[in-house]
Amino acid sequence: MELCDYQAAELARLLRKREISSREITESALLRIENKDKTLNAFLTVTPEFALKQADAADKKFKEGRDISPVTGIPVAIKDNLCTKGIRTTCASKILEHYIPPYDATVVKKILQKGAVLIGKTNMDEFAMGSSTENSAFGPTRNPRDIKRVPGGSSGGSACAVASGEAVLAIGSDTGGSIRQPASFCGVTGMKPTYGRVSRYGLVSYASSLDQIGPIGRSVEDCTMLMDVIAGYDKRDTTSINVPKPDFSGSLSSDINGLRIGLPKEYFVEGLDPLVKEKVIDAVNLLGSHGAEIIEISLPRTPFAVGAYYLIATAEASSNLARYDGVKYGLRAERDQSGLEEMYEYTRSEGFGKEVKRRIMLGCYVLSAGYYDAYYLKAQKARTLIKDDFDRAFQDVDCIITPTSPSTAFEIGEKSDDPIKMYLVDIYTVSLNLSGLPGMSVNCGTIDGLPVGLQIIGKPFDEETLFCAGHAYQQIAERK
């Protein structure tokens, strides 16, 4: 085991005792990238010089004993849809292949201010549209557990980097499951915070009302360290919410005595791999035998979620992606153009991939005159009903546990020709985005060597309970 394979919490302890240096950790991660990333393709941009410079700066802080935070000196990979000043940010799209942002996303700024080491920008489905990272314009990322398989998506590069030791921590974004599902497929921990908990300023928008940035780590504890850095109100994002920010890592407990866990019956039906079901139920029972109370609940509007999600997400995306027009930045088609119309047409035809085009067209249709009420408005109504389901359920339970995904990682190419099949992969995750609720995927074993994820869903702004339940599970499972 190399330094880059350690948990962030353990590295932080060793760094503080000055038994190791940030340079050593960073070099170990960079070496891992060098050895493995030709195969895995988790990174679109690696920033070795910048990383080592930051590592040295971190080591100086440890030497002088000042400005030390839990993430100081820890290599962090950032999904390539978060703007990094002076470092290209592509969203895995041809249209932004050479785009260098003039500013840092709020989350990136916070991470750098706390002295973490930005090691590179990770691969993803183009504009975060996908569930397998196959929709990257720069080639798919592979699952480190089985390179024939997908790492999940859209934050596949981030989950892969953490699972493979190419980074210790990573930042992902989650619009319909894009942190949780790849975390599940790669066997790591990934958390989507409550909508409004983390500033979206600088996150390239896919679907503004659903997008949320969150941490990926090797343990719940690692995720809390990153959450402490990125959470909080930001006046640059008026959809971020000004509520007190807990000390997630400091208050992390594993006391689940009397914790009421809901199991929604609608999530354990046909379409769920029976082996995945078994693993999840085993995990729930384990929590039950350690003091938690397991309650069966119902979320009857669950069947509407995927439909509502794809209507709302594509509608917002069709508008959010209108700015890529070849005028101001990014790609402009070089083919001969007769005028403005053709400049738009050629630029967007060449710049966007198939799935992005599909979603833009769907979204335009959803919002168009005469269809708005039937699709967009109806989807918003369904969204309200789905949220009501959760509100009602949370009167009786403290958190809800479901599988993160109906299956383990599938093979590359297996679903890429069938968008509907691919969309159904998100069946357990999209409801949370529609409801704005926090959710976390924690590994709960493997099937044929492939990780299975357990999804824990919490009340709005109650990430602490999620962390507690997840942490308890990891502690118990480790002892077992």
Length of the chain: 480
Least separation in angstroms between CB 390 and another protein: 20
Interacting residue with another protein among 238, 251, 285, 298 (CB under 8 A)? 238
Contact 422, 129 (CB under 8 A): no
Interacting residue with another protein among 12, 203, 223, 393 (CB under 8 A)? 203
Beta bridge partners of residue 45, listed in sequence order: 121
Answer yes or no whether residue 50 interacts with another protein by CB under 8 A.
no
Q: 75-79 and 169-174: which strand pairing?
A: parallel
CA distance 216 to 121: 14
From 66-74, 75-83, 293-301, 418-426, span contacting another protein (CB under 8 A):
75-83
Contact 176, 430 (CB under 8 A): yes
Instruction: Choose among 303, 301, 305, 302: nearest CA to 379.
Output: 305
Dmax over CA atoms of the chain, in Å, equals 71
Instruction: Choose among 441, 453, 462: nearest CA to 390.
Output: 462
CA distance 45 to 186: 21
Interacting residue with another protein among 46, 71, 77, 82 (CB under 8 A)? 82
Answer yes or no whether residue 200 interacts with another protein by CB under 8 A.
yes
Q: What angle do CA 415, 421, 422 make, to 5 degrees?
A: 65
* H/E element, 261: strand 260-264
Least separation in angstroms between CB 302 and another protein: 23
Answer yes or no whether residue 118 interacts with another protein by CB under 8 A.
no
Interacting residue with another protein among 56, 97, 146, 237 (CB under 8 A)? 237
Beta bridge partners of residue 79, listed in sequence order: 122
Catalytic status, residue 178: yes
Catalytically annotated residue among 28, 154, 164, 249: 154
From 15-23, 91-99, 252-260, 284-292, span contacting another protein (CB under 8 A):
91-99
Catalytically annotated residue among 178, 184, 219, 240: 178
> Going residue by residue from 408 to 447, which x/- string records binding to another protein, judged by CB under 8 A?
----------------------------------------
Catalytic status, residue 318: no
Residues annotated as catalytic are 79, 154, 178
Residues that bind another protein (CB under 8 A): 81-83, 89, 91, 96, 99, 101-103, 105, 200-205, 207-209, 235-239, 315-316, 318-319, 321-325, 327-329, 340, 344, 364, 367-369, 372, 376
